[in-house]
Chains A and B, each alone.
Chain A
């Protein structure tokens, strides 16, 4: 039986936990000062700072990961928590069932297949193609799927965030060029192709877009978890 003192968190562990939280808070402050610019993503800023410190201090990644296990542990309940906004907006799924089911599955499929295929076409590694495959869905689900199909979860995490930034940055340009003006369509596309990052970008402008983005994030997460292992067979 472990002694009671083993429940005390060692100082080094607290140090890296504090560094991670501070880097994230700093990233949020930077984004706020740039009036919410999606390119100044707080998670990317935090990853850059912490990675830089780990490299500079010659800290092995394993020991850093062990120090901050608490944050990673909370990823599972946070993923489960995505069920709440999905259920809250389920009325929209009922009302626009055909549009959502067709738009979502087509968008999801196109994004997965073209992502992995383009990596192959341009001569990328197999592991990179498999990490690219689930990148459109919300990061925690994307990482779990990447793990399952033989990709690299850490790479997928970065791709998911940068992909979300690309979606947020190009959203208005692309959708207005295609004359897509309905907020339901804008929201669903943002949630399906750019998950949380793109959703946060459209949410302040329209409550409808925010609701449909929540539906897109939740349903695409489930859909990708089901279909990615099947599509991954093509890229083995």
Chain B
């Protein structure tokens, strides 16, 4: 793939964004295919996440200059998508209107479980991590 370069030899920002989003889409698609083909228990997008992290790690290892366009186009695209990740699940989240009576019937178990399990998870994870890393250099 050839990316158009400007005077400084860096790809143009808008183009980089388009290339970056396309790369993310390709990894997502590959994840979906693998998920379906080998019945991997992870959702397709999560398989794509693992593949992308692996590909970036490999690109970092082998000749950095050759693979520069890859990391440099994925990074801005992922920043844009992750900065506004919240917007992307508003439509899906609005389906709670169809669950209104479930919420009404279950609000006591929901509130109790949500508050207790979240704080428990927070405390357990923080405490164990603290025990292992305290006194260790960063």
Contact = CB atoms under 8 A, between A and B. Distances in A.
Given A100-B129, A124-B109, A166-B114, A84 B78 contact: yes
Contacts of B15: none
Interface in B83-138: 84-99, 102-103, 105-106, 108-110, 112-134, 136, 138
A143 B91 CA distance: 12
A18 to B, nearest CB: 12
Contacts of A38: none
A43 B122 contact: no
A4 B2 CA distance: 29
Interface string B34-50: 00000001111110111
Contacts of B122: 107, 167, 170-171, 174-175, 189-190, 192-194
Interface residues of B, number: 77
Interface residues of A, number: 114
- Name which of A23, A119, A123, A171 has the most chain B CB atoms within 10 A of its CB: A119
Interface of B: 21, 24-25, 27-28, 31-32, 41-46, 48-53, 56-57, 60, 74-75, 77-79, 81-82, 84-99, 102-103, 105-106, 108-110, 112-134, 136, 138
